[in-house]
Structure 1
């Protein structure tokens, strides 16, 4: 089995993903007091909680998006065994975008109930488009002619990943187009995209479950 020299890159990336996904929760604030400083009763408190639905929806959408990006980052680095300066730079660029996501998320939460204002939705969708594009560039760079992949790489798995990821930036272009016309629909569409991009990886692992048990006995072979 190939010796990996991307361990520090992956460890650093995991830490950044963890920080970014944690920052999202900081915008969720429930005020337990009324204007006179008296605690809300149960019905009033439920009203306060439900009034925060735009923030909660933005939080869930961005949380799933970052989480799915982490899943796919983990997935491709099962194939990527080596690193170079360009890969490190591209990964840092991706992490910069990931850390920025809480900013447009907070902004969109304020504007999602105002469908006539689109700047926040455009920034939000543009950030996700930049993220998907950067991730694709990382994979294309590392996998081009097996540049940074393992010696015994699973070619079928590599090709499958390449086919799946080619649609990422394209659908986020659609999301960006929607943002120019409908702010609430932008966040719903982005949430559906996050769920959609999680499904191929899950189904791929389930289909490969039986093969994994066989290939665990063959250390020369690599699996996604």
Structure 2
């Protein structure tokens, strides 16, 4: 199977996730600054989640670019990732509506954690199907950011139970770590084309 259908399906799901998240931001009932201020936690949680979906979309695109063929296990690993990402609107809404309370913030971190683990599973499934000398295997190298992210999410969840702002800070730090698009795949593809 070609990768075009997988990319199109994944892009569509991610677009729907963003749409659902923005629909959770309710229109204020009063035309006052106070009414807008009351929506600030909801907007900030949406902003963080929007950045995360953008990061996943960008890196997912680059990762699928390395695929020569799509196998059944890749399809299932991709669905596994999309499942966890589809919970992001729910976790985002719960966290924002409850003004970053400890439990919703911890659950948000758990959703981020399992999405990161699902991304890793998809990445490893692609490497396994394409071979040990695949472009993706060469591009990811030691994958320090990929390995650090779940650890930082776990720290964020644990810190949230003690002091929620510290957990939230961890989630923001991971997003900032990935905000600059990961160029490893682009560089590896450039080297492969030149060689």
The alignment of Structure 1 onto Structure 2 pairs a total of residues equal to 195
Q: Does 1:17 align with 2:4?
A: no
How far the C-alpha of 1:110 sits from its partner, in A, is 2.4
Name the structure 2 match of 1:36: none
Q: Which residue of 1 aligns with 2:176?
A: 195
Per-residue displacement from partner, 1:200-224 (whole Å, max 9, x unpaired)?
A: 526x589x5xx98xx5xx9x628xx
Any unmatched runs of 5+ in structure 1? 34-39
2:123 aligns with: 139
C-alpha contact 1:112 1:183 (8 A) present in aligned 2: no
- Are 1:72 and 2:63 an aligned pair? no
Query: Could you report, residue by residue, the CA deviation over 1:23-82 in whole angstroms, capped at 9, with x for unpaired residues?
Result: 11112123243xxxxxx4xxxx12211221111110111111111011110111121221
Q: Identify if the C-alpha distance between structure 1 residues 152 and 178 changes in structure 2 by more than 3 Å, giving closer, same or farther.
A: closer
Distance 1:137 1:113, change over 3 A: closer
Moved over 6 A (4+): 149-152
- Aligned partner of 2:135 in structure 1 is 153
1:26 aligns with 2:23: yes
Tell me the SS of whatever aligns to 1:62: helix
Tell me, in whole angstroms, the C-alpha distance in 1 between the residues paired with 2:43 and 2:95: 11
* 1:135-167 CA-partner distances (Å, limit 9, x unpaired): 0011112113xx32698737642426x343222
Q: Is the 8 A contact 2:55 2:181 kept in 1?
A: no
Give the number of the structure whose residues are more often helix, by fraction. 2
CA distance in structure 2 between the partners assigned to 1:85 and 1:141 by the alignment: 10
